[in-house]
Structure 1
Protein backbone atom coordinates (compact mmCIF):
# COMPACT_ATOMS: atom_id res chain seq x y z
CA UNK A 1 0.00 0.00 0.00
CA UNK A 2 1.06 3.60 -0.58
CA UNK A 3 2.41 5.39 2.51
CA UNK A 4 0.29 8.20 3.89
CA UNK A 5 1.30 11.72 2.95
CA UNK A 6 -0.17 15.18 3.32
CA UNK A 7 -2.12 14.70 0.10
CA UNK A 8 -2.88 10.97 0.29
CA UNK A 9 -6.37 10.70 1.77
CA UNK A 10 -7.43 7.17 0.76
CA UNK A 11 -5.75 4.00 -0.41
CA UNK A 12 -6.67 0.43 -1.31
CA UNK A 13 -5.70 -2.48 0.95
CA UNK A 14 -5.63 -5.09 -1.81
CA UNK A 15 -2.93 -7.33 -0.30
CA UNK A 16 -4.77 -7.46 3.04
CA UNK A 17 -7.99 -8.21 1.16
CA UNK A 18 -6.51 -11.25 -0.58
CA UNK A 19 -4.78 -12.49 2.58
CA UNK A 20 -8.13 -12.51 4.39
CA UNK A 21 -9.90 -14.50 1.67
CA UNK A 22 -11.52 -17.78 2.71
CA UNK A 23 -9.94 -20.14 0.19
CA UNK A 24 -6.52 -18.60 -0.45
CA UNK A 25 -7.18 -18.83 -4.20
CA UNK A 26 -5.63 -16.03 -6.33
CA UNK A 27 -9.02 -14.41 -7.04
CA UNK A 28 -10.46 -14.90 -3.56
CA UNK A 29 -11.42 -11.64 -1.89
CA UNK A 30 -12.83 -10.53 1.45
CA UNK A 31 -14.24 -7.49 -0.37
CA UNK A 32 -15.89 -9.86 -2.83
CA UNK A 33 -17.78 -11.64 -0.07
CA UNK A 34 -19.20 -8.34 1.14
CA UNK A 35 -20.12 -7.31 -2.42
CA UNK A 36 -22.01 -10.55 -3.00
CA UNK A 37 -23.85 -10.20 0.31
CA UNK A 38 -24.86 -6.58 -0.42
CA UNK A 39 -25.66 -6.91 -4.12
CA UNK A 40 -29.41 -6.81 -3.53
CA UNK A 41 -29.08 -4.31 -0.70
CA UNK A 42 -28.99 -0.76 -2.06
CA UNK A 43 -28.09 -1.47 -5.69
CA UNK A 44 -31.24 -1.36 -7.81
CA UNK A 45 -31.40 -3.31 -11.06
CA UNK A 46 -31.28 -0.11 -13.14
CA UNK A 47 -28.21 1.11 -11.21
CA UNK A 48 -26.05 -1.89 -12.05
CA UNK A 49 -24.92 -0.40 -15.38
CA UNK A 50 -24.82 3.20 -14.12
CA UNK A 51 -21.16 4.10 -13.41
CA UNK A 52 -22.01 6.68 -10.73
CA UNK A 53 -24.60 4.61 -8.88
CA UNK A 54 -22.41 1.49 -9.05
CA UNK A 55 -19.38 3.37 -7.72
CA UNK A 56 -21.34 4.93 -4.84
CA UNK A 57 -22.63 1.46 -3.88
CA UNK A 58 -19.19 -0.21 -4.17
CA UNK A 59 -17.55 2.58 -2.15
CA UNK A 60 -20.19 2.25 0.56
CA UNK A 61 -19.48 -1.49 0.81
CA UNK A 62 -15.68 -0.94 0.75
CA UNK A 63 -15.58 1.47 3.70
CA UNK A 64 -16.62 1.42 7.38
CA UNK A 65 -19.01 0.69 8.91
CA UNK A 66 -19.79 -2.11 6.41
CA UNK A 67 -16.17 -3.25 6.07
CA UNK A 68 -13.94 -2.63 9.06
CA UNK A 69 -11.09 -2.50 8.34
CA UNK A 70 -12.19 -1.37 4.91
CA UNK A 71 -11.03 -2.45 1.49
CA UNK A 72 -10.56 1.31 1.12
CA UNK A 73 -8.49 2.74 3.99
CA UNK A 74 -9.10 6.33 5.06
CA UNK A 75 -6.23 8.36 6.48
CA UNK A 76 -6.45 8.10 10.29
CA UNK A 77 -6.68 11.83 11.00
CA UNK A 78 -9.75 12.22 8.78
CA UNK A 79 -13.27 11.50 9.87
CA UNK A 80 -14.70 9.96 6.70
CA UNK A 81 -14.55 10.03 2.91
CA UNK A 82 -17.93 9.47 1.28
CA UNK A 83 -19.21 9.29 -2.28
CA UNK A 84 -22.78 10.39 -2.94
CA UNK A 85 -25.00 11.58 -5.75
CA UNK A 86 -26.65 14.99 -5.70
CA UNK A 87 -30.35 14.84 -4.93
CA UNK A 88 -30.83 17.76 -7.34
CA UNK A 89 -29.08 16.70 -10.54
CA UNK A 90 -27.56 13.26 -9.83
CA UNK A 91 -23.94 14.41 -10.18
CA UNK A 92 -21.27 12.47 -8.32
CA UNK A 93 -19.94 14.18 -5.19
CA UNK A 94 -17.05 13.38 -2.85
CA UNK A 95 -17.35 14.51 0.78
CA UNK A 96 -14.32 14.54 3.09
CA UNK A 97 -15.02 15.13 6.76
CA UNK A 98 -12.10 16.20 8.93
CA UNK A 99 -11.67 17.33 12.53
CA UNK A 100 -10.42 20.92 12.85
CA UNK A 101 -8.23 21.69 15.85
CA UNK A 102 -8.31 25.17 17.37
CA UNK A 103 -4.69 25.83 16.40
CA UNK A 104 -5.63 25.55 12.74
CA UNK A 105 -7.83 28.63 13.05
CA UNK A 106 -6.58 32.20 12.81
CA UNK A 107 -6.07 33.67 16.31
CA UNK A 108 -8.97 36.08 15.91
CA UNK A 109 -11.51 33.29 15.35
CA UNK A 110 -10.35 30.75 17.91
CA UNK A 111 -12.67 29.98 20.84
CA UNK A 112 -12.92 33.03 23.14
CA UNK A 113 -12.73 30.91 26.28
CA UNK A 114 -10.73 27.93 27.52
CA UNK A 115 -12.17 24.65 26.23
CA UNK A 116 -10.72 21.25 25.40
CA UNK A 117 -9.92 20.34 21.80
CA UNK A 118 -9.56 17.17 19.75
CA UNK A 119 -6.77 14.96 21.15
CA UNK A 120 -4.47 12.46 19.52
CA UNK A 121 -5.60 8.90 20.16
CA UNK A 122 -2.80 7.53 22.34
CA UNK A 123 -3.72 3.97 21.33
CA UNK A 124 -3.30 4.71 17.62
CA UNK A 125 -0.56 2.65 15.99
CA UNK A 126 -0.24 4.61 12.75
CA UNK A 127 3.30 5.58 11.70
CA UNK A 128 1.92 8.63 9.89
CA UNK A 129 -1.03 10.90 10.71
CA UNK A 130 -2.65 10.06 14.03
CA UNK A 131 -6.33 9.54 14.67
CA UNK A 132 -8.00 12.34 16.61
CA UNK A 133 -10.63 11.72 19.26
CA UNK A 134 -12.74 13.59 21.80
CA UNK A 135 -10.89 14.32 25.06
CA UNK A 136 -10.82 11.46 27.54
CA UNK A 137 -11.29 13.95 30.38
CA UNK A 138 -15.01 14.75 30.14
CA UNK A 139 -15.09 16.82 33.33
CA UNK A 140 -14.16 20.01 31.43
CA UNK A 141 -15.94 21.74 28.51
CA UNK A 142 -14.84 20.83 24.99
CA UNK A 143 -15.47 22.53 21.65
CA UNK A 144 -14.94 20.00 18.87
CA UNK A 145 -14.97 21.48 15.39
CA UNK A 146 -15.09 19.64 12.08
CA UNK A 147 -15.42 20.57 8.42
CA UNK A 148 -16.81 18.79 5.38
CA UNK A 149 -15.17 19.50 2.03
CA UNK A 150 -17.60 18.58 -0.77
CA UNK A 151 -16.33 18.49 -4.35
CA UNK A 152 -18.08 17.63 -7.63
CA UNK A 153 -16.56 14.78 -9.61
CA UNK A 154 -17.78 15.88 -13.04
CA UNK A 155 -14.46 15.27 -14.81
CA UNK A 156 -13.84 11.74 -13.50
CA UNK A 157 -13.61 9.04 -16.17
CA UNK A 158 -15.61 6.37 -14.38
CA UNK A 159 -15.38 2.62 -14.88
CA UNK A 160 -18.33 1.15 -16.81
CA UNK A 161 -19.72 -1.87 -14.92
CA UNK A 162 -21.07 -4.86 -16.83
CA UNK A 163 -24.33 -4.90 -14.88
CA UNK A 164 -24.57 -8.71 -14.94
CA UNK A 165 -22.01 -10.95 -13.31
CA UNK A 166 -22.41 -14.68 -14.01
CA UNK A 167 -19.52 -15.37 -11.64
CA UNK A 168 -18.53 -13.44 -8.50
CA UNK A 169 -15.02 -12.73 -9.82
CA UNK A 170 -16.46 -10.45 -12.54
CA UNK A 171 -18.39 -8.41 -9.96
CA UNK A 172 -15.24 -8.11 -7.85
CA UNK A 173 -13.20 -6.96 -10.86
CA UNK A 174 -15.78 -4.30 -11.79
CA UNK A 175 -15.96 -3.01 -8.21
CA UNK A 176 -12.18 -2.92 -7.77
CA UNK A 177 -11.70 -1.04 -11.03
CA UNK A 178 -14.39 1.48 -10.07
CA UNK A 179 -12.80 1.96 -6.63
CA UNK A 180 -9.30 2.40 -8.12
CA UNK A 181 -10.53 5.28 -10.30
CA UNK A 182 -12.13 6.99 -7.30
CA UNK A 183 -9.05 6.61 -5.09
CA UNK A 184 -6.82 8.14 -7.77
CA UNK A 185 -9.10 11.12 -8.32
CA UNK A 186 -9.81 11.77 -4.64
CA UNK A 187 -6.11 11.97 -3.82
CA UNK A 188 -5.35 14.07 -6.91
CA UNK A 189 -8.21 16.57 -6.58
CA UNK A 190 -8.91 16.75 -2.85
CA UNK A 191 -5.50 15.96 -1.36
CA UNK A 192 -4.02 19.44 -1.80
CA UNK A 193 -7.20 21.12 -0.62
CA UNK A 194 -7.28 19.08 2.60
CA UNK A 195 -3.56 19.78 3.12
CA UNK A 196 -4.28 23.51 3.01
CA UNK A 197 -7.02 23.08 5.61
CA UNK A 198 -5.50 20.75 8.18
CA UNK A 199 -2.18 19.44 6.90
CA UNK A 200 1.36 20.78 7.02
CA UNK A 201 0.27 23.69 4.82
CA UNK A 202 -2.87 24.30 6.83
CA UNK A 203 -4.07 26.75 9.40
CA UNK A 204 -5.11 30.36 9.72
CA UNK A 205 -8.33 30.08 7.71
Structure 2
Protein backbone atom coordinates (compact mmCIF):
# COMPACT_ATOMS: atom_id res chain seq x y z
CA UNK A 1 0.00 0.00 0.00
CA UNK A 2 1.48 3.37 -0.98
CA UNK A 3 2.63 5.67 1.82
CA UNK A 4 1.58 9.28 1.35
CA UNK A 5 2.20 12.34 3.50
CA UNK A 6 1.56 16.07 2.96
CA UNK A 7 4.58 16.30 0.63
CA UNK A 8 4.37 12.89 -1.08
CA UNK A 9 1.96 13.07 -4.00
CA UNK A 10 3.10 10.08 -6.04
CA UNK A 11 4.65 6.72 -5.19
CA UNK A 12 6.12 4.02 -7.44
CA UNK A 13 4.57 0.70 -6.40
CA UNK A 14 7.38 -1.69 -7.34
CA UNK A 15 6.15 -4.44 -4.98
CA UNK A 16 2.76 -4.64 -6.69
CA UNK A 17 4.35 -4.42 -10.13
CA UNK A 18 6.55 -7.47 -9.51
CA UNK A 19 3.97 -9.44 -7.50
CA UNK A 20 3.44 -12.08 -10.19
CA UNK A 21 7.06 -12.37 -11.31
CA UNK A 22 7.17 -10.30 -14.48
CA UNK A 23 6.72 -6.55 -14.50
CA UNK A 24 3.11 -5.61 -15.20
CA UNK A 25 4.35 -2.13 -16.14
CA UNK A 26 6.69 -3.76 -18.66
CA UNK A 27 3.79 -5.70 -20.17
CA UNK A 28 1.75 -2.49 -20.55
CA UNK A 29 4.77 -0.74 -22.09
CA UNK A 30 5.15 -3.52 -24.64
CA UNK A 31 1.51 -3.00 -25.64
CA UNK A 32 2.35 0.67 -26.36
CA UNK A 33 5.85 0.09 -27.79
CA UNK A 34 4.62 0.62 -31.34
CA UNK A 35 4.74 4.34 -30.52
CA UNK A 36 8.51 3.94 -30.09
CA UNK A 37 9.17 1.65 -33.06
CA UNK A 38 9.47 4.23 -35.84
CA UNK A 39 13.20 3.86 -36.49
CA UNK A 40 13.17 6.81 -38.88
CA UNK A 41 12.21 9.24 -36.13
CA UNK A 42 14.19 10.07 -32.99
CA UNK A 43 11.88 10.31 -30.00
CA UNK A 44 12.66 13.19 -27.63
CA UNK A 45 13.12 12.78 -23.91
CA UNK A 46 9.86 14.70 -23.37
CA UNK A 47 7.94 12.41 -25.73
CA UNK A 48 9.41 9.32 -24.05
CA UNK A 49 8.65 10.67 -20.55
CA UNK A 50 5.10 11.53 -21.60
CA UNK A 51 4.51 8.04 -22.98
CA UNK A 52 5.94 6.12 -20.03
CA UNK A 53 4.23 8.36 -17.43
CA UNK A 54 0.89 7.95 -19.22
CA UNK A 55 1.28 4.17 -19.30
CA UNK A 56 2.40 4.06 -15.63
CA UNK A 57 -0.66 5.91 -14.31
CA UNK A 58 -4.42 5.43 -14.39
CA UNK A 59 -6.46 5.11 -16.52
CA UNK A 60 -4.04 3.17 -18.79
CA UNK A 61 -2.69 0.99 -15.98
CA UNK A 62 -5.06 0.33 -13.09
CA UNK A 63 -3.88 0.16 -10.46
CA UNK A 64 -1.01 2.27 -11.68
CA UNK A 65 2.67 1.48 -11.44
CA UNK A 66 2.72 5.05 -10.13
CA UNK A 67 0.02 5.69 -7.53
CA UNK A 68 -1.08 9.27 -6.92
CA UNK A 69 -2.59 10.59 -3.76
CA UNK A 70 -6.37 10.15 -3.92
CA UNK A 71 -7.15 13.81 -3.17
CA UNK A 72 -5.54 14.86 -6.48
CA UNK A 73 -7.56 14.78 -9.69
CA UNK A 74 -4.55 13.96 -11.86
CA UNK A 75 -0.80 14.15 -12.34
CA UNK A 76 -0.03 14.20 -16.07
CA UNK A 77 2.99 14.74 -18.30
CA UNK A 78 3.24 16.44 -21.69
CA UNK A 79 5.83 18.18 -23.85
CA UNK A 80 5.99 21.93 -23.11
CA UNK A 81 4.04 24.07 -25.58
CA UNK A 82 6.81 26.66 -25.95
CA UNK A 83 9.60 24.10 -26.33
CA UNK A 84 8.45 20.52 -27.06
CA UNK A 85 11.87 19.17 -26.04
CA UNK A 86 11.07 20.19 -22.44
CA UNK A 87 8.49 18.43 -20.27
CA UNK A 88 5.72 19.78 -18.07
CA UNK A 89 4.23 17.81 -15.20
CA UNK A 90 0.71 19.05 -14.35
CA UNK A 91 -0.76 18.40 -10.90
CA UNK A 92 -4.51 19.08 -10.84
CA UNK A 93 -5.86 19.76 -7.37
CA UNK A 94 -9.56 20.16 -6.53
CA UNK A 95 -10.15 23.21 -4.35
CA UNK A 96 -13.07 23.60 -1.95
CA UNK A 97 -15.17 26.76 -1.86
CA UNK A 98 -13.53 27.79 1.42
CA UNK A 99 -10.41 28.93 -0.50
CA UNK A 100 -12.41 31.72 -2.17
CA UNK A 101 -12.46 35.22 -0.72
CA UNK A 102 -16.09 35.61 -1.81
CA UNK A 103 -17.92 32.32 -1.35
CA UNK A 104 -21.33 31.21 -2.53
CA UNK A 105 -23.86 31.24 0.30
CA UNK A 106 -24.36 27.97 2.19
CA UNK A 107 -26.53 25.60 0.19
CA UNK A 108 -26.55 27.77 -2.94
CA UNK A 109 -23.88 25.98 -4.97
CA UNK A 110 -22.69 22.40 -4.85
CA UNK A 111 -18.98 21.77 -4.19
CA UNK A 112 -16.63 18.81 -4.78
CA UNK A 113 -17.86 15.67 -3.02
CA UNK A 114 -15.96 12.78 -1.45
CA UNK A 115 -16.39 9.59 -3.44
CA UNK A 116 -15.95 7.35 -0.40
CA UNK A 117 -12.37 6.26 -1.20
CA UNK A 118 -10.02 7.32 1.56
CA UNK A 119 -6.33 6.63 2.10
CA UNK A 120 -5.23 8.10 5.42
CA UNK A 121 -6.43 11.71 5.59
CA UNK A 122 -6.77 12.02 1.79
CA UNK A 123 -10.18 11.52 0.18
CA UNK A 124 -10.80 11.19 -3.53
CA UNK A 125 -13.01 13.97 -4.90
CA UNK A 126 -15.69 13.77 -7.57
CA UNK A 127 -17.95 16.32 -9.20
CA UNK A 128 -21.31 16.58 -7.48
CA UNK A 129 -24.23 14.74 -9.03
CA UNK A 130 -26.47 16.95 -11.11
CA UNK A 131 -29.43 18.17 -9.18
CA UNK A 132 -31.58 21.22 -8.77
CA UNK A 133 -28.71 23.44 -7.65
CA UNK A 134 -25.78 24.64 -9.75
CA UNK A 135 -22.27 23.42 -8.97
CA UNK A 136 -19.06 25.42 -8.70
CA UNK A 137 -15.96 23.23 -8.83
CA UNK A 138 -12.56 24.84 -8.62
CA UNK A 139 -9.19 23.37 -9.52
CA UNK A 140 -5.62 24.54 -9.34
CA UNK A 141 -3.08 23.31 -11.88
CA UNK A 142 0.50 23.28 -10.68
CA UNK A 143 2.88 23.16 -13.65
CA UNK A 144 6.35 21.76 -13.04
CA UNK A 145 8.78 22.27 -15.93
CA UNK A 146 11.63 19.87 -16.57
CA UNK A 147 14.25 21.00 -19.12
CA UNK A 148 15.25 18.67 -21.94
CA UNK A 149 18.79 18.20 -20.59
CA UNK A 150 17.35 16.50 -17.47
CA UNK A 151 15.38 13.93 -19.49
CA UNK A 152 16.49 10.59 -20.90
CA UNK A 153 16.51 10.52 -24.70
CA UNK A 154 16.27 6.82 -25.52
CA UNK A 155 18.01 5.27 -28.52
CA UNK A 156 15.71 4.47 -31.42
CA UNK A 157 14.74 1.79 -31.85
CA UNK A 158 14.85 1.01 -28.13
CA UNK A 159 15.59 -2.69 -27.61
CA UNK A 160 12.64 -4.30 -25.80
CA UNK A 161 14.92 -5.66 -23.09
CA UNK A 162 15.95 -2.10 -22.22
CA UNK A 163 12.50 -0.55 -22.54
CA UNK A 164 11.21 -1.46 -19.07
CA UNK A 165 14.48 -0.58 -17.29
CA UNK A 166 14.75 2.80 -19.04
CA UNK A 167 11.06 3.54 -18.48
CA UNK A 168 11.27 2.65 -14.77
CA UNK A 169 14.27 4.97 -14.30
CA UNK A 170 12.40 7.76 -16.08
CA UNK A 171 9.23 7.26 -14.05
CA UNK A 172 11.23 7.19 -10.80
CA UNK A 173 12.84 10.55 -11.69
CA UNK A 174 9.48 12.08 -12.59
CA UNK A 175 7.92 10.80 -9.35
CA UNK A 176 10.79 12.31 -7.36
CA UNK A 177 10.32 15.62 -9.20
CA UNK A 178 6.56 15.63 -8.47
CA UNK A 179 7.20 15.06 -4.76
CA UNK A 180 10.17 17.41 -4.38
CA UNK A 181 8.66 20.35 -6.25
CA UNK A 182 4.92 19.67 -6.29
CA UNK A 183 4.51 18.34 -2.75
CA UNK A 184 5.40 21.64 -1.06
CA UNK A 185 3.26 23.57 -3.57
CA UNK A 186 0.17 21.43 -2.88
CA UNK A 187 0.77 21.61 0.87
CA UNK A 188 1.07 25.42 0.65
CA UNK A 189 -2.34 25.62 -1.04
CA UNK A 190 -3.86 24.24 2.13
CA UNK A 191 -1.68 25.95 4.73
CA UNK A 192 0.78 23.08 5.08
CA UNK A 193 -1.77 20.31 5.64
CA UNK A 194 -4.69 18.75 3.86
What TM-score do you get using the length of structure 2 for normalisation? 0.86
Q: CA 1:154–1:109 in 2, change beyond 3 Å: closer, same or farther?
A: farther
Cα distance in 2 for partners of 1:61, 1:43 equals 16
1:74 is matched with 68
Alpha carbons 2:38, 2:157 under 8 Å: kept: no
Match of 1:138 among 128, 131, 138: 131
**CA deviation vs aligned residue, 1:76-104 (integer Å, no higher than 9, x gap):** 00011111112332121111111110112
* Aligned length, in residue pairs: 191
2:114 is matched with 120
Consecutive unaligned residues of structure 2, counting only runs of 5 or more, are none
The reply on whether 1:102 has 2:97 as its aligned counterpart is yes
Q: CA 1:37–1:121 in 2, change beyond 3 Å: closer, same or farther?
A: same
Consecutive unaligned residues of structure 1, counting only runs of 5 or more, are none
1:84 is matched with 78
The reply on whether 1:171 has 2:166 as its aligned counterpart is no
Alpha carbons 2:36, 2:157 under 8 Å: kept: no
**CA deviation vs aligned residue, 1:128-183 (integer Å, no higher than 9, x gap):** 411012235734332111121112113873335344444x3421100000101111
1:196 is matched with 188
2:150 is matched with 157
Equivalent position SS for 1:111? coil
1:56 is matched with 50
Alpha carbons 1:78, 1:97 under 8 Å: kept: yes
Deviation of 1:120 after TM superposition, in Å, equals 1.7
The reply on whether 1:93 has 2:88 as its aligned counterpart is yes
